[in-house]
Chain A
Amino acid sequence: MTHNTDTLIDALVAHARPVRRLAPPGRRAWHLLALAAGVLLALVLLRGLRPDLADCLATTAFVVGLLAALATAIAGTLAALLLAAPDRPRSWIALPLGAAALWLGAVGVGCLRAWVPLAPGMVTAAELANCFATVVLAATPVTIGLLWQLRRAVPLRPGLPLAAAVLAASGFTSVVLSLVHSINASVMILAWNVVIVGALALVHALASRLLPPNEPA
């Protein structure tokens, strides 16, 4: 063994304080989903369910879209945490893709159907602003929770876990919006989540460069 490596091992051993083990990804995913359920409940209590929910639940496209968004949220959360672990295969990224494709497909069908019935003036700026506020309120805590968990996991390749996190947060936000608002704003949701995750990841990357690395707790 070379002298330098011996010295490095001595230094690492000298700094080997006890660390708090990361819980398995499945358990952490449940914690995040519990947080998401809490946010959903709070927003439903705050804003109330959409008035036409019963009618919507009678349509197949709405139910398929809602369930696919929910599945995207659950599978995306689990995939993000699995992908952050060094020894899990990258193929876990496929986990939320099927549900996400179904969800976005349902969004596309919804857009085509709404194209004709939506007359100019039906969606007001105030309604859109209200809708955007709900997107922000729903996405922010869940995204921060997801990124916090990813930060603890210190992924060696953060790209795929972040992509799965975007899908998870977007799916969850879409579920909230489908239950609370009458506007189908899935594209806005996806764009917002890409922006917020990208911005937070950038802030974290800059902070990691500027601040000394933390010892794991």
Chain B
Amino acid sequence: MPPHPDAAPPDDWPALMARAQDGDQEAYRRLLAAIAPWLRARCRAALRDPAEAEDAMQDVLLTLHRIRHTFDPARPFRPWLAAIAHARIVDRQRVFIRRSRRETALDASHETFPAPAANHDETTDQGRLHDAIAHLPAAERQAVRLLKLEELSLKEASLRTGLSATALKVACHRALKRLRTLLDPAT
């Protein structure tokens, strides 16, 4: 990948960082443009997935920004940057390992079988479910729609509705209970 036109040579990085600490935005831009390819190479060497590596690199840039006041211009810049990159890459690797322990990658068959086209019979159930949801009280209907059908997180649903996460959780719980009764009156 060609270097950014504004990119500065490594020898200039400590001075640019010192100027960035003083609020020189142009120096900061040149520095970030210069270190981005260097960081990307490190992240790609450690993380195989290019998208994951790009996310890790952006994490490093965000962390650098947050702790830029900790750089001491009397000390070398590259080890400081490398330490931040290392910490963020290790964090990513930990998350990846944790995730891979409890998740299984989907293959074509996993995606085919749950697809609506492969499950025509579901349409009847879907119709019943949507009818049942339509009969729920407004607050419960909204909670089920956002949290279960649209699969929003509690935080996102809370932001969208203005309701607290607890209120949404309670409404969703009640809705599921009511849906169970509506769909299977025997229970």
Q: Footprint of B on A, CB under 8 Å?
A: 1-2, 4-5, 8-9, 12-22, 24, 85-87, 153-154, 156-157, 213, 216-217
Q: B20-52: which residues lie under 8 A (CB-CB) from chain A? A: 20-25, 28-29, 32-33, 36-37
A153 CB to closest chain B CB, in angstroms?
6
Given A1-B33, A8-B58, 5 new contacts (CB under 8 A): A1-B37, A17-B23, A87-B80, A154-B66, A154-B67
Say yes or no: B84 contacts A156, CB within 8 Å.
yes
Pairwise interchain contact A12-B83, C-beta atoms closer than 8 A:
no
Query: Which residue from chain B places its CB closest to the CB of A17 in the assembled complex?
Result: B23
Query: Majority SS of interface residues in chain B?
Result: helix
Q: Name the B residues within 8 Å of A17 (CB-CB).
A: 23
Complex Cα distance, B77 from A87, in Å, reads: 9
In the complex, A86 Cα to B71 Cα: how many Å? 9
Whether A216 and B68, one on each chain, are in contact in the complex, defined by CB atoms closer than 8 angstroms, is yes
Q: Is there a chain A Cβ closer than 8 Å to B75's Cβ? A: yes
Taking CB atoms, residues of chain A closer than 8 Å to B20 are 16
Nearest CB on B from A30, distance (A): 16
Are A15's CB and B65's CB within 8 A? yes
- B148 CB–A CB distance under 8 Å: no
Q: How far is the CA of A139 from the CA of B152 in the complex (A)?
A: 46
22 contacts between A and B (CB under 8 A): A1-B1, A1-B36, A5-B61, A9-B36, A12-B32, A12-B61, A12-B65, A13-B25, A19-B68, A22-B69, A22-B70, A22-B72, A24-B74, A85-B70, A86-B87, A87-B80, A87-B82, A87-B83, A153-B70, A156-B63, A156-B84, A216-B67
Candidates B21, B72, B87; contact of A19 at CB < 8 Å: B21
Given A157-B87, A216-B69, A87:B32 Cβ within 8 A: no
Q: Taking each of B69, B74, B82, B87, which has the highest tally of chain A beta carbons within 10 Å of its own beta carbon?
A: B69
Question: CA–CA, A12 to B22, complex, Å?
Answer: 14
* Interface range for B: 35 or more
Q: Does B171 contact A (CB under 8 A)?
A: no
Q: Are A21 and B61 in contact (CB under 8 A)?
A: no
Q: How far is the CA of A153 from the CA of B70 in the complex (A)?
A: 6
The answer to whether B66 touches A5 (Cβ under 8 A) is no
Chain A CB within 8 A of B180 CB:
no
How far is A13 from B32 in the complex, measured between Cα atoms in Å?
9
Q: Nearest B residue to A19 by beta-carbon distance?
A: B69
Question: How far, in whole Å, are A156 and B81 apart by their CA atoms in the complex?
Answer: 12
B173 at the interface (CB under 8 A from A): no
Q: Are A21 and B37 also in contact (CB < 8 A) when A13-B28, A86-B80, A87-B75 are?
A: no
Q: Which residues of A contact B76 (CB under 8 A)?
A: 87
Contact pattern, B 92-121, Cβ under 8 Å of A = 1, otherwise 0: 000000000000000000000000000000
Q: Which residues of A contact B87 (CB under 8 A)?
A: 86, 156-157
Question: Which chain B residue has the least Cβ–Cβ distance from A14?
Answer: B25
Inside 8 A of A12's CB, which chain B residues have their CB?
28, 32, 61-62, 65
B128: chain A residues within 8 A (beta carbon):
none
> Contact between B83 and A5 (Cβ–Cβ < 8 Å)?
no
Is B80 a contact partner of A5 (Cβ separation < 8 A)? no
- Is the beta-carbon distance between A21 and B1 smaller than 8 angstroms? no
B72 to chain A, nearest CB (A): 6
